[in-house]
Amino acid sequence: MTTLCNIHFGTAERVKDMTNNTLITSINQLMQAYQTCGFKIKAILADMQFRHIQQLIEQKGIVLNICAANENVPEIERYIRTVKERVRSIATTLPFEWYPPQLIVKMVYNCVFWLKSFPHKDGVHPTIIPRAIMTGQKIRYDKHCKVEFGTYVQTHKKHNKSMEPRTSGAIALRPSGNEQWGHYF
């Protein structure tokens, strides 16, 4: 989980392991996304699990500030807690007794999508959403709020002229956020 200070643009990524290569790849992708938006990363605040890549990050000219043992970055901890609360809220509305790990990941992505779709009370602007600041993309209620997470839907399936089914059942995950107002299923 990451959050850009002051703008409150949060991201989440499923990391398969905590190896140097995996963490550096994830951080490079994040830095590239921020640089595309015109931001230059000067410092990263992280906890102890990132200490083994500190030199690799600092070689890029970025200060990696590692918290002391048993300490955390307050902004990230608060963001994680908020996402967890929202994931639990979604989970209680779903009719399942067990959740596949991939569905939990998609719940997290859904929560992060919606958190950056509303202005933050401590943000740099009282009405512009973090998503619009970073990507220029805005949210439209009539397009992005058509299907709630976990809704069972029928989606279009590639087909030919046979009598085979042209739809398949799916679970709605979140809006894609693109200009065509698509959704992930």
Task: In whole angstroms, give the CA distance from residue 155 to residue 157.
Answer: 6
For the chain, what is the domain count?
2
Residues 6+ apart with CB under 8 A from 11: 1, 2, 3, 30, 33, 112
Range of the domain at 152: 144-184
Mean pLDDT score of the chain = 89
- CATH number of the domain residue 81 falls in: 3.30.420.10
Shortest CA distance to 83 belongs to which of 149, 2, 22? 2
Instruction: Tell me the per-residue pLDDT of 119-128, one tens digit each, with 9 for 90 and over.
Output: 988 888 888 9
Q: What pTM does this model have?
A: 0.86
Whether residue 179 has pLDDT greater than 80: no
- 130 with 150, same domain: the answer is no
- Dihedral Cα 134, 138, 141, 142, nearest 10 deg: -140
For residue 146, give the 3-state DSSP assignment.
coil
- 90 with 178, same domain: the answer is no
Q: CB 26: neighbour CB atoms within 10 A?
A: 16
- 98 with 41, same domain: the answer is yes
pLDDT for residue 38? 87
- 106 with 159, same domain: the answer is no
Q: Please give the backbone phi and psi of residue 55, each rounded to the nearest 5 degrees, phi first.
A: -65, -40
- 58 with 110, same domain: the answer is yes
- 107 with 81, same domain: the answer is yes
Which of 22-26, 84-88, 116-120, 181-185 is least confident? 181-185
User: 53 with 22: CB under 8 angstroms?
Assistant: no
- 115 with 67, same domain: the answer is yes
Average pLDDT over every residue of 145-162 = 86
